[in-house]
Amino acid sequence: MDTTTLLLVVVPLVLGLVFNAMKFMRFVGFIAGGGKRAASRGRGYEDQMSFDQRVAEKLRELDQQNR
């Protein structure tokens, strides 16, 4: 095999295998509940706020969206 054949055939195959392996691992993580854990981590700040603070924050967000 010369260099051109190697670049045109082998490199795309290897890249395809790597990207498909990455997609598969992301899928396995999603099935195992990784998405739920990531979503629950983001709510930690909101859980520590009082009810009034959460309401005020939501009203600020709605006000910004309506502008």
Spell out the residues 6+ positions from residue 8 whose beta carbon is closer than 8 angstroms to its own: none
- For the whole prediction, is pTM greater than 0.75? no
d(CA 63, CA 3): 60
Yes or no: say if 54 and 46 are a contact pair by the CB < 8 Å rule.
Answer: yes
In the chain, where are the structural domains located?
1-32, 34-67
Per-residue pLDDT of the chain (67 residues; tens, 9 = 90+): 678 888 899 999 999 999 999 999 999 888 887 666 655 555 566 667 788 888 898 999 999 988 7
Written in H, E and C, the secondary structure of 16-62 is HHHHHHHHHHHHHHHHCCHHHHHHHHHCHHHHCCCHHHHHHHHHHHH
